[in-house]
Every structure is written in C-alpha cells, then in structure tokens.
Amino acid sequence: MKTKLTLVMEDEVIYNAKLYAKNKEESLSSLVENYLKAVALGQSNENENKRSVKKVSSPIEKYRGIMNLSPDYDPKDEIAKYLLEKYNKLK
C-alpha cells in the first residue's frame, strides 16, 4: 500500500533533488523511498553489515548517466542522418 507523505525543506534542496532525480531518470519519491529503506535497514542491522538494500533494475541500468545528451537531441534524426549518408554513397 502506498501512502502520501509531505516533507518540508529548503527550496534549494528540493530543486537540486529534482535535478538529480531527473538525471537518474527516477522519480523523487522513489529516491526518497530507497533512501529511507536503506536508513531503516542500516539501523536494524547495525551489527550485521552483510545485508544491503538491493534495487531491482533493468539489464541496462548500469549504462544510465554515461552520456550527457542535449535536451533537443532526437535519436530519430540521428538515424535519418545515418541512413542518408549510407545510401547516398551507394549512388
């Protein structure tokens, strides 16, 4: 069951957190939830460092954030350019 939670903090903290979440392609709610899970697990297992919070991820998760693309980047344009170059050389 999901429950709504209201947090109060400085505007700059919220702004920077939203930017971070956007760059990670994750919602701010899920970032906060994962952090709280990690903190709660850490407190319950202070003497037992064997376990950790594992985030379920897709096979391509490890590749997130390795490229910084401009906001106006369109992969379809890049494909079109590639195909034009490829097939114009054949003429």
Q: Which pLDDT score is estimated for 46?
A: 57
**To the nearest 5 percent, what fractions of the chain are helix, strand and coil?**
50, 0, 50
Task: Return d(Cα 45, Cα 27) in angstroms, integer.
Answer: 27
Residue 5 resides in a domain:
yes
Q: Which domain holds residue 2?
A: 1-47
Residue 20 resides in a domain:
yes
Which tens digit of pLDDT belongs to each residue from 77-86? 888 888 888 8
CATH, residue 20 = 1.10.1220
When divided into structural domains, the chain yields a total of 1
Q: Which pLDDT score is estimated for 8?
A: 92
Which tens digit of pLDDT belongs to each residue from 15-56? 988 998 888 888 999 888 888 888 887 766 654 554 554 555
Q: What is the pTM of this model?
A: 0.45
Residue 13 resides in a domain:
yes
Residue 38 resides in a domain:
yes
Residue 33 resides in a domain:
yes
Residue 91 resides in a domain:
no
